[in-house]
Structure 1
Amino acid sequence: MARTRRGLIAAAGALSLAALVLTGCSGNNGNPLSDDSGSKGSSGTITVGSAAFPENAILAYIYADALTNAGVKADVKPNIGQRDRYIAALKSGEIQLVPEYTGNLLQFLDGNATATSSDDVYTALKTAVKDGGGKLDAGEAEVLDQAPGEDADSYNVTKKFSDDNHVTSLADLKNVKTPLKVGANPEFATRPYGIPGLKSAYGVSATLTPINDSGGPNTLKALLDGTVQLADIYSTDPSIATNDLVTLADPQHLIAAQNVVPLIATKSATDKVTSTLNKVSAKLTTSELSDMLKKSYDDKESSEQIAKDWVKANGF
C-alpha cells in the first residue's frame, strides 16, 4: 500500500499531535508539525524534511541530530505532507534530505519497476533516483546506504494459529485445510501482494475481510478474536510484539522491500554527511523502529525526544 496511508493510523494520536506548537527546527520541543514551504535551508545548512507520520518525523530528527553532532549544520522541516510534496521540496531546495522507503520510492519514480527483494529494489532504486524518473532532474539526488530496518506490509497470524497449523511462512499456508480470511484495507482485494498474490505466488486461496484502518486496532481485533486468520499490519507496528503475533516469512518476495534509506540532494552529500548517515542507517533495524514507534504511540513521547535519546544511546 502507499506509504502515505500511515497518516490513517492512530487517529486519536493525530488529534493530540495537531495541538502541539507548530515549528520547524530540530531544537524545538514537542513533535512539531509544519508545512511552511516558503523558506529554504540557510547556506551551509542541511534541512531534513519528513512525511506526515510519526515514524518518518523521528527518522528526520535522528538524521539531523547525528549530523549536528558530527559538526554539520542541520535542522528539520517535519511533516511536510505526502511524497509528491516533499520530493518537490527537495527539488526546489527547500530541503536537502529526507528519510525514504525503498520500494515505494522506486514505484514513485518508476511505475514499471518489478523488483521486490531488498537488494534488487535497492539496486533499481539507485538507478531510478539517478535518472530522476521525471520527478527529479537527472543527477540531482541520490540514495545513501539502506538500513536493515524496513516498514512494509506484512502478513501476521496469532501464535496459536501458527502453532496449531505449523505456519511460519506464507508458503506454509497451502497446507492449511480450513478457509482463510485476510483482514486488510479494501484495496488488498486487487493489490499484487494481496489476495491475488497469495494465489499466484503461493497457491493459497483466501478471501478478504475489508477493514479500512490500515492495519490498525480494528484489524488487530479481528485477528485476535478469530474473525480473520491473517492480518496485514505494518512491520514496525508495536502491536505485533505486544500481542505476540507471528509475522509470516515471504520467501517469494511477494511484498516489495521497504527499507529505510536517506534520499539526499547530491550537492549536500559530502564525505562527512555520507559517512554519518551510512553509520546511522547501519543501526536502524526493524526492531529499533518498532521500539521507537511504541514510545510515540503508547508513551506519547515527542518525535524529537525519541530521536535525541536514540542518537545518544547509539553513540552519535
Structure 2
Amino acid sequence: MSQNEKEGINVFSLFDGISCARLALEKAGIKINKYYSSEIDKSALKIQEHHYGSDPKFIQLGDVRNIKGLDLADEIDLVVMGSPCTNLSSINPIDRRGLEGSESKLFYEAIRIIKEIFIFQPYHKKLYFLMENVASMKAVDRDKITEELSNIFEDEVQLLKIDSALLAPAHRRRLYWTNIPNVSVPEPVGLNYADILENGYVDRDKANVLLSGNVTLTNGLLRHFKMSIGNIIYKDKDFAELSTEEKLLRYPQILANSGYQGKARDIKNDLDFPNGCYRHPTIREYSRMMTIPDNYVDGVSGVSKTEKQKTLGLAFTVDVVAHLFQGLK
C-alpha cells in the first residue's frame, strides 16, 4: 500500500441514494481511496452514474440482500447508512410496523453486513460507522437500533438528535448513531429559507422537512398549513406577509383568476407561478435545502423532476453529516 493510500479511507455506504455520504466526506476534507455503494433505485443510480460512472474507485454493489460483509472485511474503514424509514416515520399513517415493516426491516440486513465486516476485519483495523434515521420513530425502534449497534460496538455507540435547520435552510430532525470520536450537535449558522430562493417570497425562517412529494398547486395551500407539510414560495411579498387565515381566504379567488386547472402543460417555467399565487421550489432550491450543490441533481439528464425531488427527499443533509465526519480526522 502506498503512503497516499494510507492517508485515505475505504468507505461502504449502504442505501447510498445519490451518494451524499461521499459529498459529506469530501466537504469534511476526508480523502477517499475506495467508495463502495449499495443502491437499487433507478433514478438514484442514474445520478450516481452521471457523477461517478467513470471513476474506478466508485464501486456499485447493488442490493444489500446480496452483499457479504466477509468480502469487504479486509478493506472497509467506515460504514455509513440511512436504512429505509418508510415504516418508522410518523409521516406514514398506514404502515408503522417499525423495524418489522416490509421496507424498514432491511435495517437487519445492514446489521448482518456490519457484523460480518467487524468480525472478520484484520485485528489492527478500526471500523467506524454512522447511521441516520428519522427522529419521529417510536422509542421501541430507536432502542432496538441502539441495542443492535451496541452488540457490535459495545460502549462506543453514541446517539445524537440533530435538526438540520442548524446548518441548513430547512428542518430535518434526525437521529445519528456513531462511534466516530468527538461528535457533537453543531452550532447554528443562520442560513434561512429566504436565502436560497431564485425568486419570490416565503413566510417562515426555515422550510419544512423535504419530503419525496409536495402539495399540489391547486388546493395545496390548505393542506400545507393544516398538516405543516410541503414547501411553497409566494409570488408577492404582500401576500406572503398575510396571516394564514387571510391567505386561505384570498387564495381561491386568485386561483380562479389565474385559470390554472392543475395541468402540467400549463407550467412553462419552474420559476413561474401558474396559479397566480405560489410555486414549488426548483430542484436547485430543493438541493440547497439539503446543502447539496446546485447542479448535482439538477444537471442530470434522463431523470424527471418528480424523481429528482424524490431522491433529494431521501438524501442526507450534507453539511450535518460533514460536521459529524470531522471526528475522523
Structure 1 and Structure 2 fold alike (TM over 0.5): no
Structure with bigger RCO (C-alpha 8 Å, 6+ apart): 1
TM-score by length of 2: 0.30
